[in-house]
Every structure is written in C-alpha cells, then in structure tokens.
Amino acid sequence: MMVLHEMRRRARFLVAPVLGVALTGYFIYHIFEGERGLYAWRDIARELHTAQQALDATEAQRLALARKVDGLDPAHIDPDLLDQQVRSTLNLVAPSEIVVIRPGEPR
C-alpha cells in the first residue's frame, strides 16, 4: 500500500513533463514530415523550378514562332524569310549556288 501511494505521488510530478516532451516531439515530427512539412516544401520547390524551366523554354519557342509568323504577314513580308521558305518547301536552289549536304541531316 505504501508503495502504491509513493508511485502515485511520483507519477504526479512526471505526467506533465512526459506529456510536454511527447507533445513537443509530435510537433517537431510534423515540422519535417506531412503534406506541409519541410520535406514536402523542398519537393514542391524542386517541381516549381522544373516547371519554370519548361515554361521559359516554351516561351522562347513561342516568341521564335511569333517572330516567324510576323515575318510572313502579307502587309510586310520579309524577303529573306520568304526566300528561305520557298527554297526549303520546293527544294530549289539558284544555278550559281553550291549545295553542301552534311551526313545525318534530313534533305
């Protein structure tokens, strides 16, 4: 009986610190893990960086195509671009030109 009474008295002093340590451990664990933890944040930042690079590449392609389309505008056609398009579409060359065919390139 005396032992139970002594254990209850000591347990009363241990409950609060044990609960505090458990609660602190719970929150520290969830700082790193979980869908909003630091590891998830790192993964999302990496995905964002990859998506930003893809967006930049796509934007550069879009601008290049926009410049090419602007050059084909009937109101002001770029003669060099028109000449290039005609030659590549019809496979034409001028009589004074020399054609160099590189291996591995489509004709």
- N residues, the chain: 107
CA gap 6, 9 in Å, rounded: 5
Q: At what angle do helices 38-71 and 2-32 cross, to 10 degrees?
A: 10
Mean pLDDT of the chain: 86
pLDDT digits (tens, 9 = 90+) for 13-65: 888 889 999 999 999 999 999 888 999 999 999 999 999 999 999 999 999 99
CA gap 107, 105 in Å, rounded: 6
Of 21, 41, 22, nearest to 33 by C-alpha is 41
pLDDT digits (tens, 9 = 90+) for 51-79: 999 999 999 999 999 988 887 777 777 78
pLDDT digits (tens, 9 = 90+) for 78-96: 788 788 888 888 888 888 8
Say what the pTM is. Answer: 0.51
